[in-house]
Every structure is written in structure tokens, then in C-alpha cells.
A and B are shown apart, each in its own frame.
Chain A
Amino acid sequence: MNPLSEFIRGITKDNPTFGLVLGLCPTLAVTTSVENGIGMAMGTLFVLVGSNVMVSAIRNHIPGAVRLPIEIIVIATFVTIVDMVMEAFTPALYESLGVFIPLIVVNCIVIGRAEAYALKNGVFYSTIDAFGEGTGFLLVLMLIGGIREFLGTGIIDPFGITVINASAFMNPAMFMIMSPGAFLTISVLMTIVNYRRQQKAAKGG
């Protein structure tokens, strides 16, 4: 096991959205823009790292029968921290993410990694794993957020920095900002990923 490959595994093979298919709710709900996607992913990343470190540090003292309640309490604690910090320092973002910040607590990625990785591995590798998964999640949210924001408004301007402004050349499709647009974007992306995987498998790779 080497740290770099563990980190990259979270972005590629075990990517939260396309590999493990966990945490679909926030992936679809908050990706109306790149900015929201980044904010959500940062919150999740913090909770992931915190809970993975904590759970792997106390893993030898947790009785097997009550490990799920303990994991949930650990996660809920970190979520409460994120909730309060975001409310204090980024009120606009907090407002637009709404109920999905406290809902990080039931994000299957966080509890899934605590259960599947942190309970079995040391603190160092659990931290790496959390950063890998968190980065994978961040990239997916930015991608989906970017596609939806671009097609839906014609402008991508996270945190006031205009990256692309094509509103002069195109007629934005409101559809992409609304809920069906989210479902459509992720199903098309998932089809592409599946197709690539099957091609690779057919080649024997």
C-alpha cells in the first residue's frame, strides 16, 4: 500500500459518485452552480477527514455491536462544526446549501468510508483515504456544477470570478438548473463512465 496510490484510488476507481455510487442526494441537489458544488464538497471533505481520523484512532476501543451509533455520533459532531462555521463565515453559501449541510450526517460516503476503511486501517492511511475520497467528490461536484451552470445560465462565475461568459452566444436552457437537469447530467456522465469501463474490460485491461 503506498500513500499516493491510496489517494488516487479515491478519485478514480473508488470515486464516491461513479465508482461507489454513494451520496447521490447532495451530488444532485447542490450542483446548480460550481460555487455551491465547491462549498458542499469542502464541507464533506472536512467531515470525511475528521470522522475517518477519529474512527480509526478509536477503532480498537469500539465494541463491534455499537460501532454504528458511535460512528454516527462522531460524524454528527463534525457536521455540527461545519454547520456553525459556515453559518458564521459564509452566510450566503450557507443559505443556498440549506438543509444539505446538516444532511452531510447521513451522506453514505462518510459513514461508508468510516465503516469500510477507517475501522480496518491506521490513522495515516485513513487520512489519505479521506482526502482522496473528498477530492474525488469535489471534482465530481465541480464537473456536474460546471456543466449545469454553463448550460443553464451561460456563465460560470464561482465566487465572483468569471471563468466563462458565453451568454452572448447562447440561449441558456433553464431546464439544466432545475431538477430534471441534474438527473440528466448524472445519467449521461454515468453512461460515459460505464462505456469507458466496458471498453477497458473488453481489452482485457
Chain B
Amino acid sequence: MVEKALFTILLEGLFVKNFLLIQFLGLCSFVGVTKDVKSASGMSGAVVFVMALAATVSFLLFNYVLVPLKLEFLRTIAFIVVIAALVQLVEFIVRKHVPALYRSLGIYLPLITTNCAVLGAVLLNVMNDYNLIQSVTFGVAAGLGYTVAMLMMAAIRERSNIVNVPKAVGRGVTYALFVATIMSMSFVNFFGVIPLD
């Protein structure tokens, strides 16, 4: 397999294969925590942080523990446990040492365990045979792509609070999905920006 340039991975994660709008990973938080920019940025910060960590740890675990023991089929279980443990660990550390950050990120951390974006990033790393640096880059890029989409969505929803919408659409999930349709239409056009290999 041809080595993929890091810049390509970064651009893919950010735009071309945006996790929320193109790959449909992590949609629960996309419609759940985007009512205002503040909570959206809190959630995004937590996701970027955990994704980068999870990409590193899971790479080491997969290549130095599971592969030598021929236990690759256990990867789903192993990764979800790693992510859950990491989230707990991050929560402890942040609460003890950076209380200010904990107050803004705290409530989002438990949500991340069941966020398919994190597990998705980790699994895609394995499926694409990325090396350590590529894995971490992909984790960070995917997290940043997630952040971009989350912030755009939150900003749009915040601004459009005064707009009249039909009662059947409302202000909740359905409205968010209509907004996502339009955002996704623009992101689809990033296809072809990077020549596919």
C-alpha cells in the first residue's frame, strides 16, 4: 500500500471525509449538543482530546498486544474498553488538576464513550493500516473536522432562533437534520479536491 501523506490525511479528516457530514459518525451529539455554540465547543474539545489519545493507545494495543497474540478478532471489545477507560482517566485527571476545564468539559466526557466518532476513528485507523503517526494525525484531523461541523451547526441554530419554522419541523432534531442536509450538500463538493488513490 502506498504511504499516504500526512497532509492528505489531515484534509480528508477535515473536509473530504468529514465525520459528521459525509461519513455519518457521531450524529447523536451532532443533533443533541448543538443548541448553542458554548456546549458545542465544549463537546468538540473533549472529542478532539479523546480521539487523539485513543488513536495513540489503540494503535499500541493493537499492534503490540493483539497482533502478536493473534487476537485481532477481539479488537471491537478491546477498543471500546480502552476508550471507556481513557474517558474515565481523563475525567479524573482533569477534575483534579484543571477544575476550570472540568466545569466546561465535565458533563460531555461520559457522552464520548458511546460516541461512534471516536470508536469509528480508531477502527478506521486499523482498517486503513495506518502507522502510528498517521493514526494520530487521522485522530486529530477527524476531531477537527468534527469540530468544524459542530461549530457551524451550533452557530446556524443559534442565529436562526428567531426564524419562523413550520410547527411540524420545530426547533429540535428535525430542524437540525434539515440544516445538516444543506451543510452536507456543500461538503460533498470537496470530493475530488484530493485525487483518490
A residues apposed to B, CB below 8 Å: 21-22, 24-26, 28-29, 69, 72-73, 76-77, 79-80, 83-84, 98-99, 102-103, 105-108, 111, 178-180, 182-184, 186-187, 190-192, 194-195, 198
Contacts and interface: CB of A to CB of B under 8 A. Distances in A.
A187 B177 contact: yes
Contact of B28 (A24, A83, A182): A24
Nearest to A182: B24
Tell me the dominant secondary structure on chain A's binding face: helix
Nearest to B114: A106
Contacts of B119: 102-103, 105-106
A195 B127 CA distance: 42
Interface string B3-28: 00000000000000000011111111
Nearest to B185: A180
Given A72-B84, A76-B77, A183-B184, A99 B124 contact: yes
B167 A79 contact: no
Interface string B85-117: 000000000000000000000000000011110
Contact of B80 (A72, A83, A99, A192): A72
Interface string B142-178: 0000000000000000000000001111100110011
A191 B74 contact: no
21 contacts: A25-B25, A28-B24, A69-B84, A72-B84, A73-B77, A73-B81, A76-B76, A76-B81, A80-B74, A80-B76, A80-B77, A99-B124, A103-B119, A103-B123, A106-B116, A108-B28, A179-B21, A183-B178, A191-B169, A192-B168, A195-B168
B181 A105 contact: no
Contacts, number: 107
A204 B182 CA distance: 35
A83 B76 CA distance: 9
A146 B61 CA distance: 41
Given A179-B21, A180-B188, A84 B73 contact: yes
Nearest to B167: A198
Tell me the dominant secondary structure on chain B's binding face: helix
B146 to A, nearest CB: 13
B115 A106 contact: yes
Interface of B: 21-28, 31, 73-77, 80-81, 84, 113-116, 119-120, 123-124, 127, 166-170, 173-174, 177-178, 180-182, 184-185, 187-188
Contacts of B113: 72
Contact of A111 (B21, B114, B187): B114
B31 A24 contact: yes
Contact of A77 (B75, B77, B114, B185): B77
Contact of B188 (A26, A178, A195): A178
A179 B22 contact: yes
- Leading 8 A-B pairs by shortest Cβ distance: A29-B24, A187-B177, A195-B168, A183-B181, A24-B27, A180-B184, A76-B77, A180-B185
Given A79-B76, A106-B115, A178-B188, A190 B177 contact: yes
Given A76-B77, A106-B114, A180-B188, A190 B173 contact: yes
A99 B181 contact: no
Given A72-B84, A111-B114, A179-B24, A191 B184 contact: no
A179 B188 contact: yes
